C-alpha cells in the first residue's frame, strides 16, 4: 500500500483574471491562504467569480496577473497534466464514463499513472468502502444503475483515487434533493476527518459553507474578496452590510449549528424532562427539538451513562 500523501497549503497571491471585452474582472486581486488540510468554501452571488477562482488552481482558467501557489510552487511553473493529476476534481454533473463500471471509473487516474493492477484493485475497494458504497455490491455496476447520490459518491471516490493532496469541488451537491444533500455533506465531513485533504469547495449556499468550511471566503460581483474568516467569526462579526445580508438575519441561529451538545459542560439532569438527544446534536437542532416538544429543556445522554440537561435559558446565554 502506498504511503498517504500529505495535504499542502494553497496561496492566492493577488490572483487576477480578466476576460477580453469585459470591463470588470472575473477575479480581482484575490489574496488568501488556505492552510494544509483545511476546507475553504468560496461563496457568494452568481457572477462573484467563485468557480473562476477555483479553476485558477488547476489551470482550467489561466491567470491574467498575480499567482497561485500549491505547496510553495507556482501553478504557472508546473506542467498542466502533472498539476491536474495531483488535484482531485468533483463537479455537480459527475461525468462518470457510462461504458465503464464503477470500479473502472474510480481507477481512471491510477491507471493513467501506471499503478499495478493489484494496487488499483485494492485502492478501488478501499475508496468505495470509504464513501459507503460497499465494493462487493458496487464495483461491477454502471452509472445508469446508480441514484444521483450514489453517482456523486463514485465521483468523490474517483477524485480521491490517486490520493491527491488537493481537492477542488464545484457545487458537487447542488443538484441533489435536500435529504441526500445533507447525507453527503455529513459524509464529506466524515471522510475529511479520515483523509485530511486541502479542499476548495464552491457553493452559493451560505448554510453549506458554514457547515463544511474551516474557513469561508465571501466574494462579490467582480470577484472581489469581501471577507475571509472562520464560520464563527463570519457570523459573529460580518465585515460589512453586504456580508451581513448575505449570511442572513438569522446568523445568530446559524451560529448554533457550529456547536454540538457534546462540546458543552452541561448540568446534571435530576428532575428535568424533555427530548433525549445524543451528544452529536447541534445546538440549532436542540433548539428545534425544544420548540417541537414545547419543552424548555433537552436531555443529553453521555458516554459515562450520566444524563445531563441543556435549558432554554442556557441556550440564550450562549447565543449572546
Return per-residue pLDDT of the chain as tens, 320 residues: 566 678 889 999 999 999 998 888 999 999 999 999 999 999 998 888 999 999 999 999 999 999 999 999 999 999 998 898 889 888 877 788 889 999 999 998 888 888 999 999 999 999 999 888 999 999 999 988 988 888 888 988 898 888 889 999 998 888 788 888 888 888 889 889 988 999 999 999 898 999 899 999 999 988 999 999 999 899 889 999 999 988 887 877 788 888 888 888 888 877 667 888 888 888 888 888 888 888 888 888 766 667 888 888 888 887 76
Crossing angle for the helix pair 312-319 and 283-293, nearest 10 degrees?
Answer: 140
Instruction: Give the torsion sign (CA, 227, 228, 229, 235).
Output: positive
Cα–Cα distance, 170 to 181 (Å, whole number)? 14
Pair 85, 162: CB distance under 8 Å:
yes
Beta partners for 17?
A: 27
Cα–Cα distance, 310 to 174 (Å, whole number)? 34
If we measure between CA atoms, which residue out of 243, 212, 237 comes closest to residue 45? 243
If we measure between CA atoms, which residue out of 304, 254, 301, 305 comes closest to residue 274? 301
Cα–Cα distance, 296 to 275 (Å, whole number)? 10
- List the Cα angle 282/284/285 in 5-degree steps: 70
Amino acid at each position: 500500500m502506498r504511503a498517504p500523501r500529505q495535504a499542502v497549503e494553497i496561496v492566492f497571491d493577488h490572483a487576477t483574471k480578466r476576460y477580453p471585452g469585459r470591463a470588470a474582472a472575473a477575479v480581482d486581486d484575490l489574496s488568501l491562504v488556505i492552510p494544509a488540510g483545511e476546507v475553504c468554501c468560496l461563496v457568494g452571488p452568481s457572477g462573484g467569480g467563485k468557480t473562476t477562482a477555483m479553476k485558477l488552481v488547476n489551470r482550467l482558467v489561466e491567470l491574467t496577473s498575480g499567482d497561485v501557489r500549491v505547496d510553495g510552487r507556482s501553478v504557472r511553473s508546473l506542467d498542466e497534466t502533472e498539476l491536474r493529476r495531483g488535484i482531485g476534481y468533483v463537479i455537480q454533473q459527475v461525468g462518470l464514463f457510462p461504458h465503464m463500471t464503477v470500479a473502472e471509473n474510480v481507477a481512471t487516474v491510477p491507471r493513467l499513472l501506471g499503478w499495478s493492477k493489484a494496487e488499483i484493485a485494492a485502492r478501488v475497494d478501499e475508496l468505495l468502502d470509504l464513501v459507503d458504497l460497499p465494493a462487493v455490491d458496487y464495483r461491477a455496476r454502471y452509472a445508469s444503475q446508480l441514484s444521483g447520490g450514489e453517482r456523486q459518491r463514485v465521483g468523490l471516490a474517483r477524485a480521491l483515487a490517486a490520493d491527491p493532496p488537493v481537492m477542488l469541488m464545484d457545487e458537487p451537491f447542488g443538484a441533489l434533493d435536500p435529504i441526500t444533500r445533507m447525507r453527503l455533506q455529513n459524509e464529506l465531513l466524515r471522510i475529511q476527518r479520515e483523509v485530511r485533504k486541502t479542499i476548495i469547495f464552491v457553493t452559493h449556499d451560505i448554510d453549506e459553507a458554514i457547515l463544511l468550511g474551516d474557513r469561508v471566503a465571501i466574494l462579490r460581483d467582480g470577484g472581489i474578496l469581501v471577507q475571509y474568516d472562520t464560520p464563527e467569526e463570519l457570523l459573529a462579526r460580518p465585515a460589512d452590510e453586504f456580508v451581513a445580508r448575505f449570511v442572513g438575519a438569522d446568523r445568530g441561529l446559524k451560529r448554533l449549528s457550529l456547536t454540538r451538545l457534546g462540546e458543552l459542560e452541561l448540568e446534571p439532569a435530576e428532575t428535568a424532562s424533555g427530548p433525549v438527544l445524543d451528544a452529536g446534536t447541534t445546538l440549532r437542532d436542540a433548539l428545534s427539538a425544544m420548540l417541537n416538544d414545547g419543552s424548555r429543556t433537552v436531555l443529553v445522554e453521555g458516554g459515562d451513562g450520566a444524563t445531563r440537561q441543556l435549558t432554554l435559558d442556557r441556550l440564550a446565554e450562549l447565543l449572546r
